[in-house]
Structure 1
Amino acid sequence: MIVRIMGEGQWKVDDAHLAELNKLDDELLEEMEGGDEAGFRRTLGALLDAVRRLGGPLPDDALAPSELILPAPDATLAEVRDMLSDDGLIPG
């Protein structure tokens, strides 16, 4: 799957890593619902780091559609709330 981190670029991440990313997404959703700003920051950073660690960056000139779009590392809680679906940032 192709994952875009806003403001950074795209990574190709194997579907086998979806469960790990979903676990972090679930934690992020809980922290957002509870208004835990520190937890939100920590888990958003962990989610983005996992995409970078597990995936390979696509060249800047690649024109591949993103299957997932994640917020920038400095996104606010309100900005991320606007991006959420019922399943969080990552469907499933």
Structure 2
Amino acid sequence: MIVRIMGEGQVQIAPEDLDVLNALDGRLEAAIESGDEGAFRGCLHDLLDKIRHVGRPLPDDSLESSELILPPADASMDEVREMLGDEGLIPG
């Protein structure tokens, strides 16, 4: 799966990493639903850090289509809320 973090570039995520990413995504959704800014900020950073850790960066000149587009680390809770789908930021 090709994932773009806005403002950073794209990474390739292996299917076996999706479960842990979905768990982090669930924590992020819960923080947004509760309106807890501190928890939201920590969960967003945890999710993006994990994606950076497990993802294989694609070259800047790559023309791969992104299957997921994630917000930057400095996104507001409202901005991320608008990006959430029925299954969070990461479907599955």
Interval containing the TM-score (normalised by the shorter chain): over 0.9
1:40 maps onto 2:14 in alignment? no
> Separation in 2 of the partners of 1:86 and 1:57?
27
State the match for 2:52 in structure 1. 52
Render the CA deviation track for 1:37-75: whole Å, top value 9, x for unaligned: 000000100100001000111010000011111100000
> Separation in 2 of the partners of 1:91 and 1:12?
16
Equivalent position SS for 2:91: coil
TM-score, length-scaled by structure 2: 0.98
1:9 maps onto 2:9 in alignment? yes
> 2:13 is matched by which residue type in structure 1?
V
Equivalent position SS for 1:86: coil
CA RMSD of aligned residues (A): 0.5
Unpaired stretches in structure 1, ≥5 consecutive residues: none
Equivalent position SS for 2:69: strand
> Separation in 1 of the partners of 2:48 and 2:3?
10
State the match for 1:78 in structure 2. 78
> 1:16 is matched by which residue type in structure 2?
E
1:25 maps onto 2:9 in alignment? no
Shift of 1:81: 0.6
Unpaired stretches in structure 2, ≥5 consecutive residues: none
Shift of 1:91: 0.8
Q: How many residues align?
A: 92
TM-score, length-scaled by structure 1: 0.98
